[in-house]
Amino acid sequence: MNITRKKVLAAATLVMISLVASEAAWARGGPPSIMDSPGYQRRLQESRQQLSQPAPAPSRVHHRKRRLPPRH
């Protein structure tokens, strides 16, 4: 039972440490992420421009009828 109590206390300590560490990161405006990078923002803008343009009309393909050989 003593080992279980130690495990619970260790887990609680880890949770508290992670909460304190994440609060410090959010106090600085949040952790840096890929969404803040200029390359991501540029590609996002390009994809939005492509979506706003009308889609090209599908090309029409004319299929020839297959001629069957005459039956005798």
Q: Is residue 50 within 8 Å of 56, Cβ to Cβ?
A: no
pLDDT at position 41 is 87
The span from the CA of 64 to the CA of 9, in Å, is 78
Which pLDDT band, with edges at 50, 70 and 90, does 60 fall under? confident
Most confident segment among 12-21, 38-47, 60-69: 38-47
H helices present in 28-66, as ranges:
38-52
The span from the CA of 1 to the CA of 28, in Å, is 42
pLDDT digits (tens, 9 = 90+) for 8-41: 889 999 888 887 776 656 665 666 666 678 888 8
